[in-house]
A and B are shown apart, each in its own frame.
Chain A
Amino acid sequence: MKQFRNFCIIAHIDHGKSTLADRLLELTGRVSKREMVMNQILDDNPLEQERGITIKLHAIQMDYAANDGNEYTLNLIDTPGHVDFSYEVSRSLAACEGAILIVDATQGIEAQTISNLYMAIDADLEIIPVLNKIDLPSAETTIEDVKHQIIELIGCNEEDIYQISAKKGTGIEALLEAIVEKIPHPKGDPDAKLRALIYDSIFDSYRGVIVNLRVFDGTLKEGDKIRFMATDRVYDIDEVGIMYMNRHRTKELSAGNVGYLSASIRNLQDTKVGDTIVHASETGIEHISGFTEVKPMVFSGIYPADSDDFESLRESLSKLVLNDSAITFEPETSKALGFGFRCGFLGLLHMEIVQERLEREFGQNIVTTVPNVRYTVFKNHGGPVSIDNPAQLPPPGEISELHEPYIKAQIITPTEYVGNIMRLCMDRRGTILDTVYLSTERVDLSFELPLAEVVFDFYDRLKSISRGYASLDYEISDEKPADLVKLDIMLNGEPVDALSSIVHRSKAYEWGRKYCSKLKELIPRQMFEVAIQASIGAKVVSRTNVKALRKNVTAKCYGGDISRKRKLLEKQKKGKKRMKQVGSVEIPQEAFLAILSIDD
């Protein structure tokens, strides 16, 4: 066990995590220079690459002959890089003894990094601070400041900070030595009863679920009968191995090592991240600490644009859940949209990813409704109920109290944007909890905010008011009572349930007005005038209309060119197909998310 080093890399997007990983792989001979051309091995999902985030976790094992003459086995465990996935991050940290903290020497530390760093410190990991991109000329002016940020944060000495250029390959060997020297080897008992941590699982269409795990005690062998403690599911192991660039079968894994297993598991839900694997015959074994069931925080309706596609949408969602167990979905009906699904997501980004995958990978044409959080309704009679759809909100008369979830948000920003950010957070009903100066130029602000306010376009606003410099991280704190009302939208006098939202009373009027004018922008003119009204209960708070289409005809002589005309018709038809017919009104899909793009 002494030769194992299990570590991860903590970094903000673009600070060089993938580049460093590539260099490590190259230096340890795991990949050749030539293969390196196909660069950036960790982010292999195209969507991840595009968005510059890592959604799914991976691990890679490397062999390193250190200067002390010994061979070491290094397990690099990847961590996802977005606020929506912080639980997953915490589980992959739990599989490590050390973490490399990479900070771009020209940029400084971001909120994301700090919160992950705190998680790593909490998990007792040995932190190796690294400044990357020192080859950039602009690093010269910033490097001292960034060093100080790091020293402040982790209380290390200046000499402890490694300076590298992942791109040029400078300083990588020293870093490898540091990994071996500084990161403690895993402690565990290979002869004790098996305990292994699931830090990730993915679905492989040939072999079923592949569980990525870290063995803490004991040994895991092919043929073993194992049990997942949380779900109490028992399986016979088909295959055990470690990850090089690909899976590499080893038949067994012993305490301290990181690898995978497959056991013809058909259901990803059986293998919950954070769960403990034990031998099926053993009972009374202690769970590896830190397991929580991830719960979706953001909900929205996903409907087929064409109601005939309901079953095919269900199929696609079922397939999606196979490799993203954090999604929940159940059928629901909307008067306006017909049959669809209420889906739960970890956060807004997660929702967008799911939406995009449904469209791109599964070719679904979907309508997504305004996302909302889960509320707890205390009724005058009967116990509290939790609702995840505005349509479920009982009439105001029956409600004694309404509670909504809050988050603790951490925002790190250059000082010049503090004013803007304070204003934004106050606007979003936030309260400031703490202000910590990381350096003369950077502040760490903590707020308490209703999650619902963050769901609505908060992240983009934050980015725009800070010119992209502020970074955000959050965790769910608790629920608090709030004065909320349901804002309904009526089109030509008919309420459209899928456009309803729950908003704070103080903002309802303004939102109603902006919502109406946004809808007016989005709903195209059609045969009839479309009256748009926003109401709270029976009270109309705002109204506007989309004038009837006056003229839409190509009155032109085409000669005999009917093909061109038919192509125009096809285009028009396509446009119409992307709309949802609600009563007599055609509503474009974007309109169902209109409320997200209302400016403050």
Chain B
Amino acid sequence: MNQSGIYIHFPFCEKKCSYCDFYSIENLSKACIFTNSLLSEIELRSQRHESKPNLSSIFIGGGTPSLLPPESIGRILQSIKSHFSFGEDIEITIECNPDSTLLENLHDYRKLGINRISLGVQSFARDELISLGRLHTPEQAAAAFHSARSAGFDNIGIDLIFAVPGQSARSWSRTIDKALELGPNHISAYSLIYEKGTPLYKSLADGDVSRVRENDEVIYYETIIHRLAAGGYEHYEVSNFALSGKYCRHNLDIWHGGRYFAFGPSAHGYIGNQRYWNVRNIDEYIFLVGKGRLPVSGCEEISGFDCIAERIMLGLRADGIDPGRFQADFGIDIKSDIAGLIESLAEHNFIIPNESNIRLSKKGYLIADELIAKVVLAIEKAMN
């Protein structure tokens, strides 16, 4: 295998969404210097490895990378190409926001080798888009989707958010209808999280908005699982669904413990056995790179039990753990070492154990965090 991924963080947005705690700023004037710094970072990082690492995916995310002129994206990809070798069927994704997705840009993306679009739709209900602080309308989202199709993209994913304040079962169901109607190859459906420091968090604290009741949130989640399953989508991670194997390769690699390089402020990477993260400030980023230093803000070595815990956590959140590989890698025979737990979880329908895979059921996904903690603890005990 030995393939890697690349994640690029483009830290600019037209306007911050009310719920978002990703690192991005609204002042686009630094976009140009940023691009240069990014190229330098790629250069700097590449000096650290001798041969050209083989890439299976590149994910250009952010922020809103669709704000970037295609020429800049071209320069970035060019630079990557000179330091990495591209796998045969490399998947190159760019995240786009409906309000900044222009048809001519989409054509350019195709020419640059980008073959997957991730479209930030979030909702097809106008009022929900407003309360999320999104800049686009439902119509713009649909139009952007069609543009991408007409530009020739046969692999498009869309993001949806549920449990938005004020959301009703009906409006959620209509969003799902609309999504199915468009027929994207991939759907991510996240439940809204009130992150500290966001305007939405403050509104919640001030009592201006209220949380969707837990019961409704559960129903919304179950609804999308059922509806997408009926639509032929495979549920392959807590929040991710794909048609005919069109998993998001970048994410899947991450969840399978794969290596990935990360470029751009606040980006997280995993190389060797180190997880590292870049500084979360554009000026600092530009400054450090300008000084010829990697803009890394922290890192941790993943070894020993952490590796095992990550594998379980990521595996169970995604499409399961392969007991054979697990034993080969860690010398732990999950099936017999924690047989009691596996049995009782299976009996109650939280997990689906097969010969070659142990994965969560629909019911299990709903309480994934609880189950993961249980399994990790049980393994830890079994090891002592």
Binding site for B on A (CB under 8 A): 308, 526-528, 549-557, 559-563, 565-566, 568-570, 572-573, 576-577, 584
Known: A551-B218, A554-B193. A560 touches B370 (CB 8 A): no
Chain B residues whose C-beta falls within 8 Å of the C-beta of A568 in the assembled complex: 369
Contact B214 A551 (CB under 8 A): yes
- The B232-249 residues at the A interface (CB cut-off 8 A) are 238-239
Q: Can you list 12 A-B contacts with CB-CB less than 8 angstroms, sorted by A residue number?
A: A308-B384, A527-B348, A528-B348, A549-B367, A551-B214, A552-B367, A555-B189, A559-B7, A560-B267, A563-B300, A569-B372, A573-B373
- Interface residues in B271-301 by Cβ distance below 8 A to A read 275, 277, 300
Query: B254 contacts the other chain (Cβ, under 8 Å)?
Result: yes
B50 CB, min distance to chain A CBs, angstroms: 24
Is B39 an interface residue, CB under 8 A from the partner?
no
Report B297-328 residues with CB < 8 Å from chain A CB.
Answer: 300, 306, 309-310, 313-314
Q: Is residue B366 contacting chain A, with contact meaning CB distance below 8 A?
A: yes
Docked CA distance A577–B268 (Å) = 30
Residues of B near A526 (CB, < 8 A) are 370
Closest to A549 in B: B367
Tell me the bound Cα distance from A562 to B370 in angstroms.
17
Tell me if B367 and A563 are in contact (CB < 8 A): no
A sample of 10 more A-B contacts (CB under 8 A), given A555-B190, A561-B268, is A551-B217, A551-B366, A553-B369, A555-B238, A557-B190, A560-B260, A560-B268, A563-B275, A569-B373, A570-B309
Tell me the count of chain B residues lying within 8 A, CB to CB, of chain A. 49
- Looking across the interface, which residue of chain B has its beta carbon closest to that of A548? B367
- A561 to B376 alpha-carbon distance, docked (Å): 19
Known: A555-B190, A555-B239, A566-B309. A560 touches B270 (CB 8 A): yes
From B159, B188, B373, contact of A572 by CB (8 A) = B373
Please give me the 10 A-B residue pairs with the lowest Cβ-Cβ distance, nearest first.
A560-B268, A553-B368, A572-B373, A555-B191, A552-B370, A555-B239, A552-B367, A561-B268, A552-B369, A550-B218
A559 adjacent to B348 (CB under 8 Å):
no
Also in contact, A563 and B268, with CB within 8 A (given A553-B365, A569-B309): yes
Tell me how far the C-beta of A571 lies from the nearest C-beta in chain B, rounded to whole angstroms.
9
Which A residues are CB-close (under 8 A) to B262?
A: 560
Residue of A whose beta carbon sits closest to that of B350: A527
Give the residue of B159, B218, B306, B377 whose beta carbon is less than 8 angstroms from that of A566.
B306
Interface residue? B221 (CB, 8 A): yes
Residue of B whose beta carbon sits closest to that of A568: B369
Q: How many angstroms between the C-alpha atoms of A550 and B275 in the bound complex?
A: 32
Q: How far is the CB of B259 from chain A (nearest CB, A)?
A: 11
Q: A561-B268, A576-B374 are in contact. Are A566 and B367 (CB under 8 A)?
A: no
- With a cutoff of 8 Å between Cβ atoms, the chain B residues found around residue A308 in the complex are 384
Assess A569 versus B368: contact at CB under 8 Å? Given A308-B384, A551-B218, A560-B270. Answer: no
Measured CA separation A568–B372 after assembly (Å): 11
**A565: chain B residues within 8 A (beta carbon):** 313
Alpha-carbon gap, A563 to B191, bound state (A): 20
B240 to chain A minimum Cβ distance, whole angstroms, is 9
Which residues on the B side are within 8 Å of A566 (C-beta)?
Answer: 306, 309-310, 313
Minimum Cβ distance to chain A for residue B348 (Å)? 7
**Within 8 Å CB of A562, what residues of B?**
254, 268, 270, 275, 310, 314
Q: Is residue B344 contacting chain A, with contact meaning CB distance below 8 A? A: yes
Q: Find the residue from B262, B370, B371 having the highest chain A CB count within 10 A.
A: B370
Judged by a CB distance under 8 angstroms, whether B353 is at the interface is no
CA distance A87 to B88 in the complex (A): 85
Nearest chain B CB to A568's CB is how many angstroms away? 7
Shortest distance in angstroms between B127's beta carbon and chain A's nearest beta carbon? Answer: 22
CB distance from A302 to the nearest CB of B (A): 22
